[in-house]
A and B are shown apart, each in its own frame.
Chain A
Amino acid sequence: MLKLIKKLNVTGIIPGEESFTAKEEELGRKRVSFHGRIFRSMVKAKTPLIAAVIILVVILMAAFAPFFAPNEPNSVDIRNRILPPAFIEGGISEYPLGTDTMGRCVLSRLIYGARVSIVVGIAAVFVAGILGTVLGIIAGYFGGIVDDIIMRLADIQLAFPFILLTISVLAVIQATRDVHQIDVNLIQRLLPLILTLGIAQWVVYARLARGEALSMREKEFVDAARALGDNHFSIMFRNILPNSIAPLIVIASFNVGSSIIAESSLSFLGLGVPPSIPTWGGMLAESRELLITGNLWLSTLPGLCIVFTVLSINIIGDWLRDFLDPRLRT
């Protein structure tokens, strides 16, 4: 009994599942669809629902930035520099959240800044997730020398602090472009950032996927597939991957948040994204010279944007973990 209760606490299995009497089948057990369960669970918890709304708003703003932004993000207004928000004395309604040192509209820049954060955050996680998952499952499934090599690569990657790796790679790429004066568009500009952030973070997924594959390999359903003569590819990606995906998705959701922070850090350092593109990190960097003067708005607003976005993502991640895989509480 206690075993059952433990299981219930741990995996959310309903203890009554042993009871499948004929009568119950006649009555027809209420079978709720997966989407229905997601929605119901979210509404019940409230906080994740609010977080989801915030993320939705951020994504919409990023997608339709020209529509939402009151001004051109890069248009300079020399006469109106360093204005406070409109609701504070000294602010004007043309710039709802004030202007920066060059007289650019802060609100518009924040809205456009969401684009880089969202795109880089999600894309980097895709790169890292797919690379890490595939390598991890291969390592765990085959074991032996394959496993040794992949895991040693992971150790090297871990020993090489990932921000440092990203910084060095971006610095070299940037320097090269400067030297050769290569003109690049936004996508080309973001690609190294996405790729380096992605490659720098594959290890988390690889380790997790490997662990899952190791335990799945011992499961009898994998033996059953082998006994039926199934091939390795099919066993890894039909049998093992679908059962390992829940914790990976949970980690990925948290990772979107940390990638956004990493992106903003790099922008803060002036690496990654050119100054002509507004980013939250870049805005923070620009605000630094005014920090000593006690200017509150310029350094607070972009930071709050980052915190609220990342916090919402983390709350969703937390809820996803409880929902998908309660074993993973960390």
Chain B
Amino acid sequence: MLRYIGRRLLQSVIVMLGVSVLAFSVLFLSGDPTYLYVNERASHEQIEKTRQQMGFDQPIYIQYGRFLKGAVQGDFGKSLRYGQPAMQLVLERFPATIELAFVGMFIAVIFAIPLGVLAATKRNSILDGGTMVFAMVGQSIPGYWFGLMLILIVGVYWKLLPISGRVPLLEPLLRGEFGVFFSSLGQGLRHLILPGIASGIWSLSRNTRLVRSSMLEVLGVDYITTARAKGVAEKKVVMKHAFRNAMIPVVTIVGLEVGFLLSGNIIIENVFAWPGIGRLIIYAINQKDFNIVQAGVVLLAFFFVIINLIVDVLYTWLDPRIRYN
């Protein structure tokens, strides 16, 4: 089992190396990245000067080596607009992104499991049909548009909830300022509800379907019949024997979804003026501040890899076949 985790760790490192290559090479899609850093009317001398400043005149492997060396230390250079280290800017916005992703995930999981399990056990009932229609529609709605509609209806028409901005929760918690945390909890949550729903709706729909189909499959397996033949009550058959087995594929998908949520939230963050990494990245793109883009991308990918590592460890707890091999 330790060996298994060790191997997964090594795989993660390889994946991160690959991510760094991707993040590095995106700039070179333009042919000569120098032009991304100068303005349109720059003279030939200015361009040459920038090229040397940025090191774009050196061989590509040296540039990558420098990029990688910096990346490992969290150094992606300075932001051209803010003048601050790119990574620092990204990290400042990280708690906001995490908060939103967490709420989205929470919604996507906490409702999906009971809905999916119920739909599976009451197969072909009205409840099942309704759940499936809901899930089908939910998977067809773009999250950002759903966000716009929430703003329009809940925010503008009903004036129930705030439609933009954020009250920090994670930062005071991390700093240990619990007084600040509890006093801002109410407002913070109110700000989180709409963007949270908008970001979670797609995953919620998909997870519901996934839980249902996974349950249905497990409920047809021989060991479920064994449990019934032992005289185990139906409720316990579902909740004890089927549920844990059915969760095995669900956990994998949910792990992958975290990554999807982080990146999908880029647009949600823009809709709700949520001060997270996504909003920063879009801003940086418009400002051609590519150091920030690189830093943001690498950080999100890193986070994604970590989550998947955790999922794999969780897996070993769920599935003894992996634990003991």
Q: Which residues of A contact B (CB under 8 A)?
A: 6, 9, 152-153, 155-156, 158-165, 167-169, 171-173, 175-176, 178-181, 257, 261, 264-265, 268-269, 271, 284, 287-288, 291-292, 294, 296, 299-300, 303, 306-307, 310-311, 313-315, 318, 329-330
Give every chain B residue within 8 A of A318 (Cβ-Cβ).
Answer: 136
Is A156 in contact with B15, judged by CB distance below 8 angstroms? yes
User: B195 at interface (Cβ–Cβ under 8 A)?
Assistant: no
Can you list 30 contacts pairing A with B, beta carbon distance less than 8 Å? A156-B15, A156-B18, A158-B256, A159-B308, A161-B264, A161-B301, A162-B263, A163-B263, A163-B266, A164-B263, A164-B266, A165-B297, A167-B281, A168-B23, A168-B26, A171-B285, A172-B26, A178-B40, A179-B36, A180-B35, A257-B139, A268-B144, A268-B267, A269-B267, A271-B285, A288-B271, A296-B152, A307-B137, A314-B139, A330-B210
Is there contact, CB below 8 Å, between A175 and B30?
A: yes
Residues of A within 8 A of B297 (CB): 160-161, 164-165, 168
6 additional contacts (CB under 8 A) given A299-B148, A307-B145: A152-B18, A158-B304, A172-B36, A172-B290, A176-B36, A314-B139
Contacts of B14 in A (CB 8 A): 152, 155
Q: Please, how many angstroms separate the alpha-carbon atoms of A175 and B304 in the complex? A: 28
Per-residue CB proximity of B255-297 to A under 8 Å, as 1/0? 0100110111011001100000000011001001010010011
B6 at interface (Cβ–Cβ under 8 A)?
no
Which label, helix, strand, loop or mixed, suits the secondary structure of the A interface? helix
What separation, in Å, do the CA atoms of A163 and B290 have in the docked complex? 16
Do residues B266 and A291 form an inter-chain contact, with CB atoms below 8 A?
no
With an 8 A cutoff between CB atoms, is B149 at the interface? Answer: yes
Asked if B293 and A168 make an inter-chain contact with CB atoms under 8 angstroms apart, the answer reads yes
- B1-44 vs A, Cβ < 8 Å mask (1 yes, 0 no): 00000000001001110110011001101110001101010000
- For residue B139, which residues in chain A have a CB less than 8 angstroms away from its CB? 257, 314
Contact B259 A159 (CB under 8 A): yes
Q: Does B316 contact A (CB under 8 A)?
A: no
B300 at the binding interface (Cβ < 8 Å):
yes
Judge whether A176 and B18 touch: CB under 8 Å.
no
Are A161 and B148 in contact, CB atoms less than 8 angstroms apart?
no
Residue of A nearest to B22 (CB): A160
A161 to B142 CA separation, bound complex (whole angstroms): 17
Determine the residue in chain B with the shortest Cβ distance to A309: B140
> Chain A's nearest CB lies how many Å from the CB of B216?
7
A179-B40 in contact (CB<8A): yes
- What is the bound-complex CA distance between A264 and B31, given in angstroms? 27
Residues of A contacting B305 with CB < 8 Å? 159
A132 CB to closest chain B CB (Å) equals 16
Whether the Cβ atoms of A167 and B152 lie closer than 8 Å is no
B266 and A288 contact, CB distance less than 8 A: no
Residues of B within 8 A of A (CB): 11, 14-16, 18-19, 22-23, 26-27, 29-31, 35-36, 38, 40, 136-137, 139-142, 144-145, 148-149, 151-152, 156-157, 209-210, 213, 216-217, 220, 256, 259-260, 262-264, 266-267, 270-271, 281-282, 285, 288, 290, 293, 296-297, 300-301, 304-305, 308
Contact of B300 among A161, A169, A314 (CB under 8 A): A161
- Name the A residues within 8 Å of B26 (CB-CB): 165, 168-169, 172
Q: How far is the CA of A173 from the CA of B263 in the complex (A)?
A: 20
Q: Is the CB of B263 within 8 A of A155?
A: no
A284 to B151, CA, bound (A): 13
- Docked pose: A310 CA to B259 CA in angstroms: 23
Are A176 and B30 interface neighbours, CB within 8 A?
yes
Partner of A159, one of B19, B29, B285, B293: B19
Q: For the complex, what is the distance from the CA of A95 to the CA of B19, rounded to whole Å? A: 49
A265: chain B residues within 8 A (beta carbon): 142, 144, 267
Cα–Cα distance between A169 and B19 once the two chains are bound (Å) = 14
Query: A159-B305, A168-B297, A307-B140 in contact; A330/B209 too (CB < 8 A)?
Result: yes
Q: Is the CB of B156 within 8 A of A311?
A: no
From A9, A159, A164, contact of B281 by CB (8 A): A164
Q: CA of A178 to CA of B40 in the docked complex: distance in angstroms? A: 8
Residues of B close to A294: CB separation below 8 A: 152, 156-157
Contact, CB under 8 Å: B136 / A314: yes
Of A6, A172, A181, which is in contact with the most chain B CB atoms at under 10 Å from its CB? A172
Residue in B closest to A318 when the chains form the complex, CB atoms: B136
Given contacts A161-B301, A175-B30, contact A156 B148 (CB under 8 A): no
Known A-B contacts A167-B281, A173-B29; A306 and B36 likewise in contact (beta carbons under 8 Å): no
CB distance from B173 to the nearest CB of A (A): 25
Closest to B29 in A: A172
With most chain A CB atoms within 10 A of its CB, the pick from B15, B209, B259, B305 is B15
Chain B residues with Cβ below 8 Å from A287 are 148
Q: Are A175 and B288 in contact (CB under 8 A)?
A: yes
CB distance A311 to B136 under 8 Å? yes
- List of B residues within 8 angstroms of A165 by Cβ: 22, 26, 297
